[in-house]
Structure 1
Amino acid sequence: MKRRRGIRVIIFDCIILGAGPAGLSASLNLGRMRRNVAIFDNGTNRNRVTHESHGFITRDGTTPAEFRNIGLNELTKYPSVTYFNRTITEVSRDEQAGIFVIETAENEKYTAEKIVMATGIQEEFPIEAVRNFYGRSIFSCPYCDGWELRDKPLFVIANKEEQVLHMAKLLYSISRDLYIVTNGTQLSADCIRELEKHDMRYNMEPVQALHGDNGNLEAIEFRTGEKVTRSFGFVVPSFHRANPFAEKLGCNIAETGSVITDGMGRTSQSGIYIAGETQKAGPSSLLIAAAEGNIVAGSVNMDIATEKF
């Protein structure tokens, strides 16, 4: 540790941004290789509103908070891994020193030879009121929450026709009582025929309000005044990265919005790696994100080993 002009500067082999499944997995595997690692997180993970996480074998039904705590506790076995509950405000490269500089909201600076971006993504909803019910009665992933809602009357909020058909097909095995809400988007005749063929009702009017209390939905009200009683359903959000670090650091971005990598987590910028939903700028399962964290840890460790051998 060094001190410079009153600001604490700590040098690490690798700094990992984000303590989701990708960041935790990368930290674990780098710690096992005795790399000096710092993992930063501020608790704004998007699944924090979820009551149970599903689909991760041996952890099915675990709450996101419990999953995170188990991961952080496992890291304490490895003395070279340090966890910081901090908000990262800036990430830059010191070209002269050949290191990365991480700045926090607490006016601290940390430096590292490598960085892994695993800060995840955040949702934007077609109807902002969805946020009041998200994680309790409105969900976005049929794989994560569909089983618990099996055979219940459900709705789908999606404002693009391809999203309507995608969700209708996915949820048809969960419930045959589906009500499609497009919030003002007009569906094509072909799409309507597909829905009607499967006895799915639909409403293309804009939504006026969502009624309910304490996260429990009771009804959807349309601008026409019509109300449809539903207690559970799914929404198709759009997603964005929680920060612009990849763009500011000059990483190549594909037209799809994903960060271009070599398939092993290395970005177009030397020393910068990425894993999990941050890379795709889209949703992923806990299991896949953790696997990608494992892969990127191997890349970071091998690069360090090669450089220092």
Structure 2
Amino acid sequence: MNIFDCIVVGAGAAGLSTSLTLGRARRNIGVFDDGSNRNRVTQESHGFITRDGTKPHEFREIGLKELEKYPSISYFNTKITEITKDIVNERFIVRTKDDEEYSTEKIVLATGVQEVFPILSVRDYYGKSIFSCPYCDGWEMRDKPLVVIAEDEEYMLHMTKLVYNWSKDLVLITNGARISEQSALELQKRNIKIMVEPVKKLIGVDGYLREVEFESGETIARSGGFVIPTFYRPISFVEQLGCEIDEKGAVVTDGMGRTTQKNIYIAGETEKVLPSSLMMSAGEGNKTAVAVNTDLTMERF
């Protein structure tokens, strides 16, 4: 059985950053990833200094290539299906879909989050002409006729006001959800049209939006837009391992990635079940790595 100081579950920005820092600290690290990262559908990644405009798969390949320099880091392109506690030896046993087993002293969960969209067909356009982060993709959509799709009034206002910085040609689509008169007036003062009627379908070609059709048959021409999804953890290791979760669904930590379960750490979007930029996730991964290495150092000194 392969034995590691730490296994990092997930090789997105958070997991790669964690692994790099721990590898440079001469720790024996196993990195596991199945290629299901959330940003794989988008054309380019933005906002990461020195890597602005890099395609997500290229960003990942560059990160994995950097890890190869450190002989103590092993990468496994597979899915972890089970993590159990070896109470006697104070370790964890990790099993993969290939029925391989690995032993580790510490675990970092960096599996990220996935989206559920208010309109199913958004998935056909997501990453090409419909996005969830204006900071990531607003520049590319600037001055185009856009939609904002949201069903919660707080999010309707927040996202519409935010996207207004990049394009003044906006239509808010609530997909049947109600919006208060006060909020509607606030947006209409900026000439932002509000469509409360449910959407029948999105119309476009090869992922690029052209029109939105409503149940009444009315259509509006749009070139893309932004959507507020619901996010969830795709893998339930947080719950299975007994990590404490607060009332908002976020994992309780000490601010350095340590969870309430000894030897289990968390990094990136997995912690709060909210989207994050590559830059922020990488920073959180670095921080968590420092916590892991500090604990290994103090426990073994």
| Residue aligning to 1:283 | 275
Matched residue of 1:221: which SS?
strand
SS at structure 2 position matched to 1:70: helix
Aligned AA for 1:262? D
Amino acid in the other structure paired with 1:78 = Y
The whole-number CA distance in structure 1 between the counterparts of 2:103 and 2:161 is: 48
Please give the residue correspondences for 1:108-147 in structure 2 after superposition, counting only pairs within 5 Å: 108-147=100-139
Structure-1 residue corresponding to 2:211: 219
- SS of 1:152's partner is coil
1:213 Cα deviation after fit: 2.0
Provide the rounded CA distance (Å) in 1 between the counterparts of 2:114 and 2:277: 14
Residue aligning to 1:296: 288
**Bigger mean CA offset, 256-265 vs 207-216:** 207-216
1:148 is displaced (CA, Å) by 0.8
Q: What is the letter of the counterpart of residue 195 of structure 1?
A: L
Q: Give structure 1 stretches of 5+ with no counterpart.
A: 1-8
Alignment correspondent of 2:185: 193
For residues 25-71 of structure 1, give each alpha carbon's deviation from its aligned partner in whole angstroms, at most 9, with x where no partner exists. 01001000110000000000010001111111111111111110110
How far residue 82 of structure 1 moved from its aligned partner, in angstroms, is: 0.3
Q: Residue in 2 aligned with 1:229? A: 221
Give the equivalent residue in structure 2 for 1:254: 246
> Structure 2 length normalisation: TM-score?
0.99
Residue of structure 1 aligned with 2:141, choices 140, 149, 155 = 149
Q: Where in structure 2 are the equivalents of 1:1-309 lying within 5 Å? A: 9-309=1-301
Aligned residue for 2:94, secondary structure, equals strand
> Within 1, Cα distance between the matches of 2:258 and 2:152?
33
Structure 2 residue runs without a partner (length 5+): none
**1:135-192 per-position Cα deviation (integer Å, ceiling 9, x unaligned):** 0011110000001111111111101111110011101111111001000011110011
Report the Cα distance in structure 2 between the residues aligned to 1:233 and 1:201, rounded to whole angstroms: 14
What TM-score do you get using the length of structure 1 for normalisation?
Answer: 0.96
What is the SS of the residue equivalent to 1:114? strand
2-side partners of 1:298 and 1:82: how far apart? 19
Whole-angstrom CA distance in 1 between matches of 2:133 and 2:258: 28
Alignment coverage as a number of residue pairs: 301
Q: CA-to-partner distance for each residue in 1:220-265, whole Å, 9 max, x for gaps?
A: 1101111111121111101000111011100000111110000000
Deviation at 1:216, TM superposition (A): 1.3
Separation (CA, whole Å) in 2 of partners of 1:298 and 1:172: 39
Please tell me the residue identity of whatever aligns with 1:234: F
CA distance in 2, matches of 1:261, 1:293: 14
Aligned letter for 2:225? Answer: G
Distance in 2 between residues matched to 1:24 and 1:93, nearest whole Å? 24
Identity %: 58
Runs (4 or more) in structure 1 with deviation over 6 Å come to none
In 2: Cα distance, 1:191 partner to 1:224 partner: 24
Task: Using the TM superposition, give the Cα deviation of residue 94 of structure 1 relative to its aligned residue in structure 2, in angstroms.
Answer: 1.0
Measured in 2, the distance between the counterparts of 1:300 and 1:256 equals 25
